[in-house]
A and B are shown apart, each in its own frame.
Chain A
Amino acid sequence: QSALTQPASVSGSPGQAITISCTGTSSDVGSYDHVSWYQQHPGKVPKVMIYDVNERPSGVSTRFSGSKSGNTASLTISGLQAEDEADYYCSSYTTSSTQVFGGGTKLTVL
């Protein structure tokens, strides 16, 4: 199975909105609404921010939202804050009952 495709980096200014894409295939992203997004600050443990495409765990800011169209899922962060600067990874369930991660996107808050 191949890793999902994410942009290596994105950036935005405080207060702006940014979107990170996650492109897979009809064997993963395109087949199920089981895409999740993880935030990882340097040296820290990944934390789930979105699951099942657009569900937020308790305690996660409403500034984080997710969507999906075809084989591509997206994470949008609105009202960008300095604390949002981190690496973001998408993950998808697959038709083989396995999991696959994206390569990760480094978000820089300018």
Chain B
Amino acid sequence: QVQLQESGPGLVKPSETLSLTCTVSDDSISNYYWSWIRQPPGRGLEWIGYIHYTGGAIYNPSLKSRLTISVDTSRNLFSLKVRSVTAADTAVYYCARFVWSMSKRFDPWGQGILVTVSS
């Protein structure tokens, strides 16, 4: 059963870059797409973007200018960078496998990591 685990700093200063990593266990990252999703405290889910193991990424248009999602197949992980963060980027960040074949769904999800943007 594939497992995903987010890691990274829980606190980032305004205007700096948020960097998170998602490590994939018990499955090769060289299948499927891999996604980031976030949820501000008390609010709904927002799709950030996804990446194929070959490196092709697709981003949420509203965030695209500040995002980079990358993949490292040798270490079976993928990463997220959000530049120039503000308090509005405070959220629980989830990584998830995106099944992109004849069917499409996010399954499974990591446990999530709370990132707070504050000085």
Residues in A lying within 8 Å of B, measured CB to CB: 1, 3, 34, 36, 38, 45-48, 51-52, 55, 57, 89, 91, 93, 96-104
Contacts and interface: CB of A to CB of B under 8 A. Distances in A.
Interface of B: 35, 37, 44-47, 50, 58-62, 94, 98-99, 103-107, 109-112
Contacts of A96: 61
Given A98-B47, A100-B47, A103-B44, A48 B105 contact: yes
Given A45-B109, A45-B112, A36 B47 contact: no
Contact of A101 (B45, B62, B105, B109): B45
A97 B111 CA distance: 26
B46 to A, nearest CB: 7
A1 B60 CA distance: 8
Given A98-B58, A98-B61, A3 B105 contact: no
Contacts, number: 63
A52 B61 contact: no
B45 A52 contact: no
B47 A91 contact: yes
21 contacts: A1-B60, A1-B62, A3-B44, A38-B45, A45-B111, A46-B45, A46-B106, A48-B107, A51-B103, A55-B103, A89-B45, A91-B47, A91-B106, A96-B61, A97-B58, A98-B58, A98-B59, A99-B47, A99-B106, A102-B44, A104-B45
A38 B106 contact: yes
Given A91-B47, A101-B44, A36 B106 contact: yes
Contact of B105 (A45, A51, A89, A103): A51
A45 to B, nearest CB: 5
B61 A36 contact: no
Nearest to A101: B45
Rank and list the top 10 A-B pairs by shortest CB-CB distance, nearest first. Answer: A51-B105, A104-B44, A99-B47, A34-B104, A101-B45, A48-B107, A36-B105, A52-B103, A45-B109, A103-B44
A52 B98 CA distance: 13
